[in-house]
Chain A
Amino acid sequence: MKRLIYLDNAATSYPKPKNVISAVNESLMRSGNPGRSGHELSLYSMKAVYSCREGLCEFFRFSHPENVVFTYNTTYALNMAIKGLMPHEGEIVISNLEHNSVIRPVKELERQNEGISVRIFDALGDGENVVSNFLHELSDRTKLCVITMCSNVTGKIMPFEKISEICKKKGIKLIFDAAQYAGHLPLDLSSLYFSAVCFAGHKSLYGIMGTGFCIFSPDTQPSAIIQGGNGAFSKAVFHDMPLPERLEAGTVGVPGIVALHEGIKHIISVGQNTISEKCLYLEARLTKGLSQIENVTLYGKTPEKVSTVLFNIDSLESEETAFLLSEKGICTRAGLHCAPLCHKTLGTLESGAVRVSVSHFNTGEEIDTFLSEVQKISNLTFFKGKNK
């Protein structure tokens, strides 16, 4: 395979740390179905799964491993939390930065239940404006807020701690989407009010695809959205059991869970702060370089962000720019990033935009090569435009 410059880490991180790859291999050699049998391979899997629950608790400073529920991705976790916590009537408040994994489940609930309505606030301004817009949408009918901690489009960090305080004071259930935040910056759940926090295992936590999880607060009792077998209470015809098994019907993805645990160990070994600082340094280099290129428009610039940058080359469709970069071995993500409300507010709903997202494995040299290629594409389109 030719050498790639991978700048699509907000979609899934690449490369994976070596310890993650080794652990997946070992797990495939040693895993039986967890929670079903008493033989060595099954017990190995059960212990590996539980060990990951404990590892995640330690990493996010949470003390209830039984409230860590494994899923296949963040979308599944968000569906589980939203549908498991929202009553049959009331209002749900979301921001316009949300991913379709939030927008679609809440809109589906609205379509299916006459008593449910969805309210959306603008979260693209500065922190104080965001909080003010959020407060404006709350009412006595608000039963649930679903808020991203960090935009998957612009990398903007939401004032989630303030939102958490407000929801706690008003007794409103609160679900956080931490897919783009966890692993980028330290996250301390012990000091945060929440009902559920939903995560991706395969993005900045360095696990593999097909892995996500949801952490429920101890006083939250979500209902199950799917039922089935998992080895527990096998005589019962109803899927009534405590967390996490209540929400883990069917076989969990043991190799992915093992990989996630190793991903966390990788972050601890490199250092969360080291990773954060490296990514922010690369992001600053990207932003500065792109802002100096003629015909490039940058979107969603804000000081409160993780290492994601959004841009377009004027007169080029975002997909065309991403294609030309891909031809040079540079991986980015064009289009709407499953976040149409955010693109609508940015004015890029029709053209989409090119998202560049780094990980700590990227280098300054890679960023410079990327910038040089963007410059070349920009020059090319500029002259093409002149010849028309």
Chain B
Amino acid sequence: MNTKYLVFTSVTFALRAMTLLKRHGLMSRLEKIKNISSLGGCGYALAISSDILDYALSVIGNEGIRVIDILDDK
């Protein structure tokens, strides 16, 4: 099981996505991005299991929340 890191336009959207995923029974974790070159967004990412990536993206997308990047490594 790999971890994927979802990057958002703001930390508020990251937290909104986190709350949304939790409501759908999907676990995620807010982490600071270590890779400075990826700092196009808010500097934080939601870490999720790659197994639930597609479902998570669909849940987040249905709420109109934009994921600006998906990283294999933070």
Contacts and interface: CB of A to CB of B under 8 A. Distances in A.
A54 B13 CA distance: 12
A240 to B, nearest CB: 11
A349 to B, nearest CB: 44
Interface residues of A, number: 22
Contacts of A241: 9-10
A233 B39 contact: yes
A38 interface: yes
Contacts of A46: 11, 15, 30, 44
Interface centre among B12, B15, B30, B43 (most CB of A within 10 A): B12
Q: DSSP class of A's interface residues: helix, strand, loop or mixed? A: loop
Interface string B22-42: 000000001110000001111
A234 B36 CA distance: 10
Nearest to B43: A231
21 contacts: A34-B11, A35-B42, A35-B43, A35-B44, A37-B32, A38-B31, A50-B12, A50-B15, A50-B19, A65-B12, A65-B16, A66-B13, A232-B41, A233-B41, A234-B43, A235-B39, A235-B40, A242-B9, A242-B13, A244-B10, A245-B12
Chain B interface category by residue count:
10 to 19
Contacts, number: 57
Q: DSSP class of B's interface residues: helix, strand, loop or mixed? A: mixed
A234 B44 CA distance: 12
Nearest to A47: B15
Interface of A: 34-35, 37-38, 43, 46-47, 50, 53-54, 65-66, 231-235, 241-245
- 9 closest residue pairs by CB, A with B: A38-B32, A50-B15, A232-B42, A66-B12, A245-B10, A35-B11, A242-B9, A242-B10, A231-B43
